[in-house]
Amino acid sequence: MKKPIKGSCTTVLVGKKASIDGSTMISRNDDGHEALDPQRFVVVNPEDQPRDYQAVISGVQIKLPNNPMRYTSMPNSLLTNGIWPAAGINSENITMSATETITTNPRIQGLDPFVAGGIGEEDIVTLVLPYIHSAKEGVERLGAILTEFGTYEPNGIAFSDQDSVWWLETIGGHHWAAVRIPDDAYVVAPNRMNIDHFDFNSADTLYSADLKALIDDNNLNPDLNGYNLRHIFGSASIKDTVYNNPRTWYGQQYFNPEIKQDPRDHDLPFICHANRKISIEDVKFVLSSHFENTEYDPYGSAPEDVKTLFRPIGINRNHNVHILQVRNNVPAEIAGVHWLAYGANTFNTVVPFYANVNDTPGSYKDATGTFDLNNMYWLSCTTALLGDTNYDFYVDMRNTFELEAMSAYHEIQNATDKAFADHKADATSFLEAANAKLANESLTRQTKLLGEMVISGSEHMKLRYNLND
């Protein structure tokens, strides 16, 4: 088995009654261990889906069904360590994001150790998303695969359909537990075991068959009452207090500023209820955030040891951010929207691509390991790098860009939604044309932003002298 590659992501989940338009949303920053790792946005059609799957990292071989559905996917451009699809929406508007690397502890590892030849983040979307017809079915399929083949790492995985959002966390090598997120709730999940209070008798939970017996028979529960899976199977480390817990704290403060909490607290709640309806823009802000308006902002004026104390959500290792939305107020053919942006999230915008297509725009699909400003991945990374050199100087340009770009994307989306009834017969080609228009708009606006930053920033280079020749 090759050495596993660890990511370090942040997830936000939103139930349909918690969102501003009645849609379900699952979203995640796909962060890596390196600052740059080119990403692609593609469609995997049934004829391109493997039937005999073999992982690159673990070598596990799994026979897959003969009836895959089409799905969007976000694989790595460089396949040295496998596909790593990250997230997608299938042709029945079922969504999946995999994975959020989470934590574990030696008590469960001593009973159910990781499986060197099992599955991991590299594999999970490919093995599950093309075959599921509901979010709950996604949990059940993945659970069965985990039970049979095991996993070599701890992960959290999100699923949604038009009605529900589910969150699954792996436990040890073969065990797992999942929760249906209440319709009126949201979740902010960092790189730790996140599920807390767990009801084995609820219709809104699923779990490996012997999970409760595993806990009870092996004295794994430290609590006097109930079952808190974070306490039982997760960590409560010093690293969590600076790397994980503060991200949950900041997201929860954004959605619930009236609730005062400690950013280091190990027991910040898993299920939360916002004080307002949540929009796409809200989710994107949280997933781009770096402790703005606090002393912990790396771009702030606090002493260096304070402003770099906590790991921010928006970070140089953001490779993509995706928000997978299933809408309930439009026809099924246009309900699935794969919002997407590349690179560090401080200087990008998410674009609402329709998922019911057979292909994706070239500027979002064709990234390679070669630097190319005609590709959105490299263009976004370049803009973020320049913005990082003088954030306070460039941030107003970023804010104007974000407002104008998101307004333009919403305008295109609204026009496409309204015109769809007249194009049902050629729905796929109509939506591919809309996606092309969105991609062109995004590429043009991001290029314009970079140009404005270069032109204005050149006046402030240190290599200058005030007397003219």
For helices 427-458 and 376-389, angle between their N-to-C axes, nearest 10 degrees: 30
CA distance 194 to 172: 15
Give the contacts of 401 (CB within 8 A, at least 6 positions apart).
347, 349, 445, 446, 448, 449
Say if 212 falls within a structural domain. yes
Place of tokens 């029945």: 92
Task: Quote the pTM value.
Answer: 0.98
Give the domain range for residue 274.
8-366
Q: Mean of the per-residue pLDDT values for the chain?
A: 97
- Report which DSSP code applies to 68: P
Question: What is the tally of structural domains in the chain?
Answer: 1
Please check the confidence at residue 469 and state whether its pLDDT lies above 60.
no
Say if 300 falls within a structural domain. yes
Please check the confidence at residue 259 and state whether its pLDDT lies above 70.
yes
Please check the confidence at residue 410 and state whether its pLDDT lies above 60.
yes
Say if 396 falls within a structural domain. no
Say if 283 falls within a structural domain. yes
Say if 176 falls within a structural domain. yes
Say if 384 falls within a structural domain. no
Say if 422 falls within a structural domain. no
Please check the confidence at residue 7 and state whether its pLDDT lies above 80.
no
pLDDT tens, position by position, 197-240 = 999 999 999 999 999 999 999 999 999 999 999 999 999 999 99
The burial class, CB within 10 Å (0-12 / 13-18 / 19+), for 374 is exposed
Per-residue model confidence (pLDDT) at position 6: 74
CA distance 286 to 9: 13
- CB-based contact 326:160 (threshold 8 Å): yes
CA distance 60 to 58: 5
Is 272 one of the catalytic residues? no
Say if 390 falls within a structural domain. no
Question: Which of 5, 7, 9, 85 is an active site residue?
Answer: 9
CA atoms lying within 13 Å on the CB side of residue 109: 11
CA distance 158 to 178: 9
Per-residue model confidence (pLDDT) at position 157: 98
**302 Cα distance to chain centroid:** 30
Domain containing residue 310: CATH number: 3.60.60.10
pLDDT tens, position by position, 8-25 = 899 999 999 999 999 999
pLDDT tens, position by position, 372-389 = 999 999 999 999 999 999
